[in-house]
Amino acid sequence: MADITEALVNRVNKHWKRFGNSLRFDPTLMEKIEANNRKSADCMLDLVTKWVRKDEGTGGLPRTWETVVKAVKAAGHKQLAEELARKFGVTIT
pLDDT, tens digit (0-9, with 9 covering 90-100), for 27-74:
999 999 999 999 999 999 999 999 999 999 999 999 999 999 999 999
pTM for this entry: 0.90
pLDDT of residue 21: 97
Domains and CATH numbers, the chain: 2-88 (1.10.533)
Three-class secondary structure assignment of the chain: CHHHHHHHHHHHHHHHHHHHHHCCCCHHHHHHHHHHCCCHHHHHHHHHHHHHHCCCCCCCCCCCHHHHHHHHHHCCCHHHHHHHHHHHCCCCC
Q: Predicted confidence band at 8 (pLDDT cuts at 50, 70, 90)?
A: confident
Contact 74, 18 (CB under 8 A): yes
Taking the CB of residue 5, how many other CB atoms lie within 10 A of it? 14
